Chains A and B, each alone.
Chain A
Amino acid sequence: DIQMTQSPSSLSASVGDRVTITCRARQSIISYLNWYQQKPGKAPKLLIYAASSLQSGVPSRFSGSGSGTDFTLTISSLQPEDFATYYCQQSYSSPITFGQGTRLEIK
């Protein structure tokens, strides 16, 4: 299995801040990396696929980058509705694996 490690595990930030979450794969997954947002009591929602492609309907303040083993999710200017938990996920090899999640909280 390919282990995915996110950092930090939790993060406090303010509205308007620029935030970066990192995801590292144990081995190269080229660009087969996706990001999801989950709000409390809700199903996860796809934000970014293939490392840097923005899913339709997702605000442009979200962006993704990286390839190989190191990836980042950036929120350029935090909005109140962005406080949630974020997960990365690799689709390079089976079994599909997720990072442990990054909880983004209001400072």
Chain B
Amino acid sequence: EVQLVQSGAEVKKPGESLKISCKGSGYSFTTYWIGWVRQMPGKGLEWMGIIYPGDSDTRYSPSFQGHVTISADKSISTAYLQWSSLKASDTAMYYCVRRTAAAGSGNWFDPWGQGTLVTVSS
């Protein structure tokens, strides 16, 4: 079974750093892009960026470029999303996703991790 398992909920103060994780299993981790999606409380889905664990090629949404860092450690089949200085506005649920692509059909996200709730409050 293809699975993405994320790290647990975090409560942090503004200005603190954070790194959350997403471990893939049941497939070849290095041959699929892994992305991150934000969902703020009561709001919709926002694509943040994506990484190819095989060579660490990384792409960011302009809305998140410079605010977060996406990385991966292929030796342990794990992708990461990190912040160097959190803000209250980073409070959200964060999902990792595996991207599947097919020629002429675009690409889609499946499966999704269970989500990591990040709360930033003083």
Contact = CB atoms under 8 A, between A and B. Distances in A.
Contacts of B110: 45-46, 49, 55
Interface string B57-72: 0010111000000000
Nearest to B115: A43
B55 to A, nearest CB: 18
B27 interface: no
Nearest to B60: A95
A87 B59 CA distance: 23
Given A50-B102, A92-B106, A44 B45 contact: yes
Counting contact residues on chain B (CB < 8 A from A), the size range is 20 to 34
A28 to B, nearest CB: 13
Interface of A: 1, 30-34, 36, 43-46, 49-50, 53, 55, 87, 89-92, 94-101
Contacts of B44: 87, 98-101
A95 B108 contact: no
B114 interface: yes
Interface in B106-121: 106-115
A98 B46 contact: yes
A95 B106 CA distance: 13
B109 A46 contact: yes
Contacts of A31: 105-106
A104 B10 CA distance: 31
A56 to B, nearest CB: 9
A38 to B, nearest CB: 8
Interface in B12-52: 35, 44-47
Given A46-B109, A53-B105, 5 more contacts: A31-B106, A50-B108, A95-B47, A98-B44, A99-B44
